Structure 1
Amino acid sequence: MTQKISELLEAAAGRALPVVRGIDDGQLGDRTPCDEYDVRGLLNHLFQVVVNFQALAAREEADFSQEPDFVRGADAGADAGSGDWRRRFGEETARLVEAWDAPGAEEGTAGQMGLPARTLGLMVLGDLTVHAWDLARATGTEFDPDPGVVEAVGPGLAALAPKAREMKVFGEPFPVGAGATAFERVLAVTGRDPGWRRPRSR
């Protein structure tokens, strides 16, 4: 039996939340495996994805044209609510799960490209899982993805990879050996080096 997207998202969020909550404000400017993003930029991107895919589940318009600063206030100290973005990430991922659990969310097509709704659900599932790994590696946090999530997203991301590379969303596939794990293969398909480690402090 095919597992529901909402159940998979709940499992993925459960692995991502400790990573996000464990990020220190002092790490927001650190590099990540995504060359175009530091930690703050990647958090903002992930927030944007989580919020917009709530809209897509409900067949509403999604706006990826601008990346809002969800992590605002993080430099101002606790009195300015610097931890609010950590709490909000938990709230928004819960809304994402709820949106994809709604009746009919996985049926038909959605989004401007008219993709099958379940394909879109697998896309946000992949983003949530892969970017959680990105953030974990960038901040020195352990991350162990849910095996069921990895099994679900692997074939979908591999199928989407050629188009994603055309759109500059994925990099060229990273070469991995025959002994690579299923998740290492997922990372490699997206153009990531599964062995990436954050630069050592001088």
Structure 2
Amino acid sequence: MTESDANRISDLLDVAATRAVPVLRGIVGDEKLLGARTPCSEYDVRALVNHLFQVVVQFQELAAKRDADFSAEPDYVGAGDDWADRFEAETRKLVAAWGEPGAEDGISGSMGMPARIVGAMALLDLTVHAWDLARATGAAFEPAPEVVEGLVPVVEKLAPTAREMNVFGAAVEVREGATAFERMLATTGRDPFAVV
């Protein structure tokens, strides 16, 4: 990602959240959907929502150069039917945190990585997991082109290490004419054309 006012992490997170929140709202109150399988084999819908919620909360800490705590994942979904409202509120806090002066500068928390890359990781989770949840629940989802454009080089850069850490699966071959987003999904180990 190159730095410019046009592609600040906070601006991209704002756009991504706008696309992600409706997907999560479509799940509220549907126990059958909450138990559905997702493209992330280790997560059903409920677990993936809880994971994404935790990412949105903890990456606020990383934006402020504080350490995040991923040692446990609270059950945000089980804490009440207003969880989608709370998720949306937390995404607004995430956008604000990464919009603070200096948030994209230097090294972020105990991750020991450039802050801008860490912010891009939050953007990646918000975008790719929204796609995972949409695929699992039959919701419509299309990421904004500027988000995909910002993420593609980050995904390519992180892919080898992410595969070693089992965060990404092995790259999947895609058909000719695949979109940039479909190719990016394939780089993370997802088959953009598979049926869940």
Query: Aligning the two structures, in what range does the TM-score lie when normalised by the shorter sequence?
Result: over 0.9
Bigger CA drift: 108-117 or 183-192? Answer: 108-117
CA RMSD of aligned residues (A): 1.1
Deviation readout 1:69-104 (Å, 9 max, x if unpaired): 11114xxxxxxx3x2111111011000000000010
In structure 1, the gaps of 5 or more residues are 74-80
Of residues 9, 15, 20, the one that matches 2:13 is 9
Structure 1: distance between partners of 2:195 and 2:136? 7
Mapping for residues 120-139 of structure 1, pairs under 5 Å? 120-139=118-137
AA partner of residue 117 (structure 2): T
Of residues 84, 87, 90, the one that matches 2:88 is 90
Deviation readout 1:24-71 (Å, 9 max, x if unpaired): 333111000000000000001001111110000011120112111111
Mapping for residues 11-50 of structure 1, pairs under 5 Å? 11-23=15-27, 24-50=30-56
Moved over 3 A (4+): none
AA partner of residue 22 (structure 1): G
| TM-score, L = length of structure 2 | 0.94
| TM-score, L = length of structure 1 | 0.91
Structure 2: distance between partners of 1:160 and 1:111? 18
Deviation at 1:196, TM superposition (A): 2.6
Higher-helix-fraction structure: 2
Identity of aligned residues (%): 62
Mapping for residues 88-167 of structure 1, pairs under 5 Å? 88-167=86-165
How many aligned residue pairs are there? 190
Structure 2: distance between partners of 1:92 and 1:170? 25
Structure 2: distance between partners of 1:92 and 1:177? 37
